[in-house]
Amino acid sequence: MLKVSVIMGSTSDLDVMSAAFDTLEQFGVEYEKRVISAHRAPDLLAEFAKGAEGRGVGAIIAGAGGAAHLAGVTAAFTTLPVIGVPINGKAFGGMDALLATVQMPSGIPVATVAVNGAKNAALLAIEMLALGEPALAAKLKDFRREQTEKIKNTTI
């Protein structure tokens, strides 16, 4: 099965991005994880993104805050699907990262999830991988069913 690559701009993003690890583990999806900054280590990012396909990666999740160019620059170096997670930094409530991640130029797409939406980023990556993996698709359907049941059985 293809794996998922999870990258983030700083170790300060780990708290938010760990939700992606949890979800990928829940579904038994293999992943690699790395701190890479588009600004502080652009050469490393280029090398990492260019090599992703060869490492058996099927989707890349990139989380960053502030002037969040990590997802966009990654997408510039690969045709693998890239999912951006804007991270809520100290200023602007994450609006800065949201706009920097979502407002990609035509021709280089990034699928942007909600601010701090690392869990949904992982689910989206799993949905992509599941297109070629019926067993994984079945797990997603079970997950949705259980989620619905939980809501229906919730009383307050």
The residues that touch ligand RP5, with contacts defined as CB under 6 A, are 8-10, 12-13, 37, 64-66, 87, 89
Q: Is residue 101 a contact partner of residue 72, using CB atoms and an 8 Å limit?
A: yes
Q: Measured from the CB of residue 11, what is the shortest distance to ligand RP5 in angstroms?
A: 7
Q: Is residue 7 a contact partner of residue 36, using CB atoms and an 8 Å limit?
A: yes
Query: Phi and psi dihedrals of 76, rounded to 5?
Result: -70, -25
Q: Which of residues 9 and 58 has its CB atom nearest to ligand RP5 in the complex?
A: 9
Q: Measured from the CB of residue 83, what is the shortest distance to ligand RP5 in angstroms?
A: 15
The two structure tokens encoding residue 122 = 């992982």
Q: Measured from the CB of residue 138, what is the shortest distance to ligand RP5 in angstroms?
A: 35
Q: Following DSSP, what letter does each residue of 15-62 receive, concatenated? A: HHHHHHHHHHHHTT--EEEEE--TTT-HHHHHHHHHHTGGGTEEEEEE
Q: Which of residues 15 and 30 has its CB atom nearest to ligand RP5 in the complex?
A: 15
Q: Which of residues 58 and 72 has its CB atom nearest to ligand RP5 in the complex?
A: 72
Q: Which of residues 35 and 137 has its CB atom nearest to ligand RP5 in the complex?
A: 35
